Amino acid sequence: MTEIQFIERDGQRTFAVVPIEIWDKVKHLFEDMDDVALYDRAKAADDGVRIPAAVLDAELAGDHPVKAWREYRRLTQDALAQAAGLSTPYLSQIENRKRDGSVDVLHRLAVALEVPLDLLVERAD
């Protein structure tokens, strides 16, 4: 067994100095502990919302988030408008950025699309 050196401060062990051959055998355990802690923090902060690649691709291609989610959900404009209590032309104007939807309208669309409201709000860059 290799000797481990302990460094004391005020009569208490505060550090352990280990030979490199021991460190090489156990360092992966510390990396694993860091990975587990990182995973646990991410899991605790997870809100469960996932954005499908098809929606993200559509938005990156220039589609309004409402349109991207509507097409992902395989809804027609008529079906979504009816589910949200809107007229089809009004929905079309929102999707084509000719009109901004009010918070109430976007909320109704979010409920109909089963997504959080903030995913339908476009960010001003």
| Residue type at 32 in one-letter notation | D
What pLDDT band is residue 3 in, cutting at 50, 70 and 90? Answer: confident
pLDDT tens-digit series, residues 32-82? 999 999 999 999 999 889 999 999 999 999 999 999 999 999 999 999 999
Percent of the chain with pLDDT over 70: 98
Count the helix, strand and coil residues of the chain and give each as a percent rounded to the nearest 5: 60, 10, 35
Three-state secondary structure call for residue 84:
helix
Three-state secondary structure call for residue 123:
coil
- Asked if the model's pLDDT at residue 1 lies above 70, the reply is no
Give the fold, CATH level 3, of 53-119. 434 Repressor (Amino-terminal Domain) (1.10.260)
pTM: 0.68
**In the chain, domain spans:** 5-45, 53-119
Separation CA 111–CA 108 (nearest Å): 5
Tokens 């208490």 — which residue? 12
